[in-house]
Amino acid sequence: MPRTILLAVVAVLTCAGASIAQGPEDYAGAVEEYRSGDPNEAIRRVARWPASTVTESLRQWAKAQPGDRLVAGVMLHTELGAAILDSLPHQTTVQLAHAQDLLDALALRRDGRERADAVRLRWYRFVISLFSSNARLADADRYAREALGKFARDPVLIFEKGVIFELSASHNMTPPPSPSMMRGRAPDSATHHGRTLEAAASEYRRALEIDPHLAVVRLHLGWVRVQQGDGRAGDDLLAVLADAKDERTRYLAHLFLGGAAERRRDFEEAAKAYDAAHQLGREHQTPFIALSRVELARGREDRARALVRELAALQRVDDDPWWSYHLGSIDEEALQWLRDEAHRR
């Protein structure tokens, strides 16, 4: 079972008699525990240490460490920062700064630049998604701008920038200032919401110019175009079905095709698309609700009620990708890559 972000932070922070690090030796032990022992125990241990002790221990320890241990240190601080984001967001920034210091140290090692860049790129992808999924969009944007200053043509980073705009529109939040707002093609008469969606679409188009087969990017562009009433949305979403290699993306593409058809009041096509989504997610709630709504629009009240009863009778309801799409989600692929790199021997 894949390890999740450590959540038992309250117990850590309220623990009586918190341990105090004695110096670089204790810090080295915590990093080694993260690397080859119990990562969660290492995170809990460092969480109890005073910030000043950690800063000084890290500075002394990092001077003579090989790359493998530096990457483990990066991820120890990154995972601790992620774990305390809800409760201690200012300390999250401190932990991520520690991680960046260790990435800088890695880049200074002989033949370390290439590895440091590979780790730093995935690190930015994860951190941006972490803040976006927590609705801390200003922080996400700050890291995105920093990342794109180093990796200007990385399509995933450009995509993450678009997600920040899309979530800004979804949450009805003021988007971060960006040239994308000026690059967008929305007319002067467009609403603020419309301009924000167009800024997202602009970033998605830029990412697809670099990699036209990034299915998740085209999925987001397709849904933005559905909301804009752009007729190209259907082509985008059909292209997603051709390129997607995972069921989550295909499931969402079918849902969005259904949404596009429903907005056109083509209820037959909408029902087909929603049913295709239902086949991929039998225990997801959104297809039940969408199909019920369409059946009501078609005058099939008995069928609509039957769908609601089927949903209510489910033994369990799976986590529905519809929600992670609209609320933002962590880049699990980047996180797993970073963990694997930290534990590599």
Taking 60 as the threshold, does the pLDDT of residue 169 lie above it?
yes
The answer to whether residues 283 and 316 touch, using CB atoms and an 8 Å cutoff, is yes
Classify residue 343: in a domain, yes or no.
no
Q: Is 69 part of a structural domain of the chain?
A: yes
Rounded distance between C-alpha atoms, residue 174 and residue 162, angstroms: 14
Residue 240 lies in a domain: no
Q: Which residue has the higher pLDDT, 152 or 15?
A: 152
pLDDT in tens, 283-298: 999 999 999 999 999 9
- The whole-number average pLDDT for the span 243-265 is 97
Average pLDDT on 334-341 reads 97
The yes-or-no verdict on residue 10 having pLDDT over 50 is no
Q: Is 40 part of any domain?
A: yes
Q: 25 lies in a domain? A: yes
Measuring CA to CA, which residue among 119, 79, 124, 92 is closest to residue 103?
119
Total domain count, the chain: 1
Q: Strand, coil or helix: what is 64?
A: coil
Q: Is residue 289 part of a domain?
A: no
Q: Is residue 29 in some structural domain?
A: yes
Distance between CA 94 and CA 251 in Å, rounded? 38
The boundaries of the domain holding residue 101 are: 1-109
80, part of any domain? yes
**Among residues 322, 341, 337, 324, which one has the least CA distance to residue 126?**
337
| Helices 267-280, 285-297: crossing angle, 10 deg rounding | 160
